[in-house]
Amino acid sequence: ATNMDMSPTNLNSMFQLSLTKYINLPSNWIMISMIIYLLVTLIAVVKITNITYGPLRQKF
């Protein structure tokens, strides 16, 4: 392993290559539906938990 393996440009290109498999067409709708699902569940959890009661873990 040389010092060029950890250069910022090489790490940036490796990061972009790792993201392309999620942006490509077959996996594109899976990623978008997962983002929408996580957003809907986040909104549902916020609506279910009552903010006036404070945190979920109570101090005894």
pLDDT tens readout for residues 1-60:
455 566 666 777 766 677 677 777 777 888 889 999 999 999 998 888 776 766 666 666
Domains held by the chain: number: 1
State if pTM tops 0.75.
no
**Residue 56 has what pLDDT?**
63
- How far out from the chain centre does Cα 28 lie? 14
Tell whether 31 is covered by a domain.
yes
Distances from the Cα of 18 to the Cα of 15, 24, 31, 37, angstroms: 5, 11, 14, 22
Range of the domain at 37: 3-50
Tell whether 56 is covered by a domain.
no
**Residue 41 has what pLDDT?**
96
Tell whether 36 is covered by a domain.
yes
Tell whether 58 is covered by a domain.
no
